[in-house]
Amino acid sequence: MRKILFILLVTQLLTTKAFSKDFDYHIEKVQYQNLVAELYLPKAQDKLAAVIAFGGSEGGLSAGKANGEMIAPHGVAVLGLAFFDAPGIAKTLDQIPIEYFLHAVDYLASHPKIDKNRIGVVSGSRGSEAAFLMATLDKRIKSVVVTTPSKVAWNGLTQAKSAWTYQGKDIPALGLALDSKADLLERFTVSLQNKKKVVQSQFKFEQINGPLLMISAQNDQVWPSYQMAKDIEQYLNEREFTYPVIHDTYATGHGFSQQTAPKIKQSIVQHIVTTL
Question: What is the DSSP code string of the chain?
Answer: -HHHHHHHHHHHHHS---S-----EEEEE--STT-EEEEEEE--SS-EEEEEE--STT-SSHHHHHHHHHHGGGT-EEEEEE-SSSTTS-SSSSSEEHHHHHHHHHHHHH-TTEEEEEEEEEEETHHHHHHHHHHHH-TTEEEEEEES--SB-BB-SSSSSBSEEETTEEPP-BPPPS-TTS-HHHHHHHHTT-HHHHHHHB--GGG--S-EEEEEETT-SSS-HHHHHHHHHHHHHHTT-SS-EEEEEESS-TT--TTTHHHHHHHHHHHHHHH-
DSSP-derived secondary structure for 93-131: SSSEEHHHHHHHHHHHHH-TTEEEEEEEEEEETHHHHHH
Asked if pLDDT for residue 13 goes beyond 70, the answer is no
Q: Which of 5-14, 237-246, 256-265 has the lowest mean pLDDT?
A: 5-14
Asked if pLDDT for residue 43 goes beyond 50, the answer is yes
pLDDT recorded at residue 64: 97
- Reported as a single tens digit per residue, the pLDDT across 213-253 is 999 999 999 999 999 999 999 999 999 999 999 999 999 99
pLDDT recorded at residue 22: 86
pTM (2 decimals)? 0.92
Q: Which of 1-15, 141-155, 169-183, 191-205 has the lowest mean pLDDT?
A: 1-15
Averaged pLDDT of the chain: 93
Share of the chain above pLDDT 70, in %: 92
pLDDT recorded at residue 212: 98
pLDDT recorded at residue 65: 98
Classify residue 247 by burial, with Cβ atoms within 10 Å: 0-12, 13-18, 19+: middle
For domain 2-154+204-275, the CATH superfamily is: Alpha/Beta hydrolase fold, catalytic domain (3.40.50.1820)
pLDDT recorded at residue 21: 62
Asked if pLDDT for residue 16 goes beyond 80, the answer is no
pLDDT interval class at 12 (50, 70, 90): very low
pLDDT interval class at 5 (50, 70, 90): very low
Asked if pLDDT for residue 67 goes beyond 90, the answer is yes
pLDDT recorded at residue 237: 98
- Reported as a single tens digit per residue, the pLDDT across 103-127 is 999 999 999 999 999 999 999 999 9
The residue ranking higher by pLDDT, 6 or 150, is 150
Give the C-alpha separation, 88 to 24, whole Å.
30
pLDDT recorded at residue 118: 98
End-to-end CA distance of the chain: 34
